[in-house]
Amino acid sequence: MSKTSEEKRVYMLLKSVIFHYHGLDEEERKDLEKTAADLDAQEEYKWATEFVAQDYLTAFERARDFLNDTIADYPKEKRVELINMVWQANNLKGYVTEMEATAMLKLAKDWNVQKELIELVLK
């Protein structure tokens, strides 16, 4: 499934900002690189990395604003797909930190998909 540059940017920023929320570890860095390769999104990955690096302390709130503006018009199933992607990626390491869960809940609330995220968590 081919994604637009905007969709790749959203995907890479979302993953990057959640992974950086508690400090990026080696496994997460490899996952980001693999995602960028799988999506042919090296430019978008570079952009997302620079976005986060501008100011780590405000990266999540800045990304939240950007994502809310960008995906406001996305259909609900697309918003659910994005939140699911991040949840699954975080689960690869075998756990999700409280900070990551809080970040995902904030985004799910912004995107009006909290119920869907909670259903994913309970699976």
Q: What is the pLDDT of residue 123?
A: 79
How do the domains of the chain map onto residue ranges?
5-122
Tokens of 112: 């009006």
For each of the chain's 123 residues, which pLDDT tens digit applies?
Answer: 578 999 999 999 999 998 887 778 898 899 999 999 999 999 999 999 999 999 989 999 999 999 999 998 899 999 999 999 888 888 877 888 888 888 899 999 999 999 999 998 887
Q: Are 67 and 107 in contact (CB under 8 A)?
A: yes
Q: What is the pLDDT of residue 33?
A: 96
Per-residue DSSP letters for 51-86?
HHHH-GGGHHHHHHHHHHHHHTTS-HHHHHHHHHHH
